[in-house]
Structure 1
């Protein structure tokens, strides 16, 4: 549904939200332009609204800005290309006027608006077909999950943000509300996910292309595990409960025996996948690979926007981790200068390689929103934090064994904590996890300030000047200008 205000809606202090026109998630076109009088009256229209809500996962934030603000901003990758705002993220110099912040904020709230519309309208639909097979409750559960996912990403980036939980405002000014506290946002995320758990099935059908495209109990349990680990008053007992619910799910998740199969483009919707964005090409394509892959695979010759760091490459080499390195990083000679690898043309530099096919901006390569290896490593972390170090090491070694590297023999809790953090880095690089991991483990300041990254143009080390204030990104200045009730994060 779109009321007369939704076309120009200013969510949470002035966000201009456009319900992007996307193609099909199922065989139903998403509702993108409809009036309050005719939008939601049948099961088919409820499904169409949900399709529109899922289409939010194909916006730029979920394609690669989540990588910029987790992998590039951390010690995993350098910025490349020619965008000064991405270089600013790399150097930890993000200003409130950085337009990528506004884009991310807007897109995540757009996704929230779509989920809210489903949650507001579907309960009132009179079509009995919605209840014959419990589909109404499933649709609402999926919308609760999607809203939780968007708010989880917002709260990790910005801290407390305005909580907009309905589309019922009579004017845009009603969305000019203060920021909720960080804890209040997390509590809303948890409430949405608990509601989703009560409504979602373990599987929708026997078709993996359906089950991996939609929120299931496995997805809700996985996200709850991540939420309870990430929030300030983390609860590792609950992390363990939700991790085990995923690992022992009737959906039958399991690690692929070959790590490379996860990213070769031929094994999507696999047993390890819990939820992934369903890029199928054409109008529903992933432009991200074109931004990252080398000339031999992209067909162009301009400098790419993300380059694996010396520190990341050394981390693979220190573990003799050939399997994951070869699946994650590709070296190739290029005709441009790179200030960290070789400041001369025709030098070999590394490329982010978890996507393999650019296809002229129309790739079908995907990002995993949630996958089992992440949850297994989170279980190892939880066990270790709870003092069950021997058990944690055994769980960790499932991932190391798959990677064909030596099994950990660590017996000390602090040593194993470092090993697990490094293991997550090698397993999940280019998947938007590193910054959250460093923050959760309290390692951001030490890791970023001890980096020795030499700019070859000056032969001087980069001063990242990481401070506590930079643990959160600034609230976009455009939002503060529009909503006088918003307060900026400290230090910006």
Structure 2
């Protein structure tokens, strides 16, 4: 996907900025690009579709792990006594965040920016001469992306404003208020169902690998149904995915290495390009302890500081790996040796540490949907429908375990199998932003996070006394206060 990755951030920015200023200058030079003289042919429409992907890159670099992983019991943060500039991130980890917190506003705004780009493509597509199959493909791609943004929003905020069409004038910018959670999910399912139909049978050339596929649309639809506890529908979608040619990598670490991007296990991942500062990822810098110098990143030109020490693995997660599980050493390290040859007992994520192109720029993609996730969701759904000690669900669960170097899991009850799935998802998908959402949909988030809070407070006196005081209100984020004020939205209980 390198070819499309190179252009979609700059192209989408040009289109959006030009559209905002179209009243400023009515006569444009021929080289000027705006929403009025763009979208003239298939090539330009494809560039706009590419632009719809670009919002994922910014969200993936901070927001997704901040709200999907650090908000869970999998990771925490390293207390940086030398710089207190990112307390807002710490408050998210501690369940102390407010409606005015900048990270929450950034997450909300970037998600709606992605939705807006999808809406703009859908709006302009009708005016472009396209073959039916191309129109279905582009529609499927942007509807998947729109659904993915709404799925993240509804899981974090509850019912949200549903913006289904492009905003053609300022007076249409305000929403009709928050939709219900049920209506939000109905819209997500509608979008993903149309994406499945539009993407059936699509096979991409090498330069387009990484675009949304039928498998991605079905896998995400299956996850939506699993979240809603509609297990029969989840199983129906996920079983189709098992027949679309995916397989588990023999080497677990290849799922995250730049040399094997978009491989046999990849269903959908955020694409990053290390040679371009606007398109590069930087996970290994952010996830390395801030006092590790360059011994972890191996980048001598960067001495880590305030932007590092995030998403630090918890002791509880580290101890949850079984003996012999190869995923542990592939995913994390428990300590590092600093430049003075001193052992420092601060753990860190290794999963996304694969070298750099230039300082703070890496080629590492971020997985959103992997085949292992599909197998574990399928096993979970089948177990919820009907437990069988050695049935089909066990086959899927144990396929994932064997790849990790572990023996088959034997269970004697539905509850025991459910616990096995919870454990397996935690270690297989560690640091891939699934943990918080899993805890919430399992109904265990309050209990698990209270216990996590006790462990965190035991680590140091720097944690506020009221941290990790978790109730059902904390399962949803506050709606950004400026959105409440401007759009007259109902705030979540605080």
* Coarse TM-score class (shorter-chain normalised): 0.7 to 0.9
The answer on 1:170 being equivalent to 2:172 is: no
Task: Report deviation, 1:51.
Answer: 1.1
* Cα deviation 1:230-265 (Å, max 9, x = unaligned): 13xx2000110111011111xx11011111222233
The whole-number CA distance in structure 2 between the counterparts of 1:66 and 1:347 is: 28
Provide the TM-score with structure 2 as the length reference. Answer: 0.85
Q: Which residue of 2 aligns with 1:437?
A: 438
What secondary structure sits across from 1:204 in the alignment?
A: coil
Q: Which residue of 2 aligns with 1:219?
A: 216
Query: Moved runs in structure 1, 4+ residues, more than 4 A?
Result: 25-31, 459-463
Cα distance change on mapping 1:351 and 1:377 into 2, 3 Å = same
| Stretch deviating more after TM superposition (470-479 or 452-461) | 452-461
The answer on 1:114 being equivalent to 2:104 is: no
The whole-number CA distance in structure 2 between the counterparts of 1:23 and 1:459 is: 43
Match runs of 1:398-477 below 5 Å: 398-451=399-452, 452-453=454-455, 454-458=457-461, 464-477=468-481
* Cα deviation 1:350-409 (Å, max 9, x = unaligned): 101211135221111111121110010000110111123332222211111111112111
Cα distance change on mapping 1:36 and 1:349 into 2, 3 Å = closer
| Stretch deviating more after TM superposition (174-183 or 240-249) | 174-183
What secondary structure sits across from 1:284 in the alignment?
A: coil
Task: Report deviation, 1:72.
Answer: 0.8
What secondary structure sits across from 1:175 in the alignment?
A: coil
Alignment check: 8 A CA contact 2:8 2:50 kept: yes
The whole-number CA distance in structure 1 between the counterparts of 2:243 and 2:9 is: 28
The whole-number CA distance in structure 2 between the counterparts of 1:39 and 1:361 is: 34
* Cα deviation 1:118-141 (Å, max 9, x = unaligned): 00101221x3xx21x721221111
The whole-number CA distance in structure 2 between the counterparts of 1:465 and 1:47 is: 48
Structure 1: where are the runs of 5+ without partners?
1-21, 337-344
What secondary structure sits across from 1:450 in the alignment?
A: helix
| Stretch deviating more after TM superposition (68-77 or 443-452) | 443-452
Alignment check: 8 A CA contact 2:167 2:173 kept: no
The whole-number CA distance in structure 1 between the counterparts of 2:169 and 2:9 is: 32
Q: Which residue of 2 aligns with 1:88?
A: 91
Match runs of 1:26-425 below 5 Å: 32=15, 33=18, 34-59=33-58, 61-80=59-78, 82=84, 83-125=86-128, 127=129, 130-131=130-131, 134-172=133-171, 174-205=173-204, 207=206, 210-211=208-209, 213-231=210-228, 234-249=229-244, 252-281=245-274, 282=276, 283-294=278-289, 295-298=294-297, 299=299, 300-302=303-305, 303-316=308-321, 319-333=322-336, 347-357=344-354, 359=356, 360-390=359-389, 391=391, 392-425=393-426
Alignment check: 8 A CA contact 2:266 2:367 kept: yes
In the comparison of the two structures, how many residue pairs are matched?
449
Provide the TM-score with structure 1 as the length reference. Answer: 0.86
The whole-number CA distance in structure 2 between the counterparts of 1:405 and 1:117 is: 48
The whole-number CA distance in structure 2 between the counterparts of 1:141 and 1:306 is: 33
What secondary structure sits across from 2:460 in the alignment?
A: coil
What secondary structure sits across from 1:124 in the alignment?
A: coil
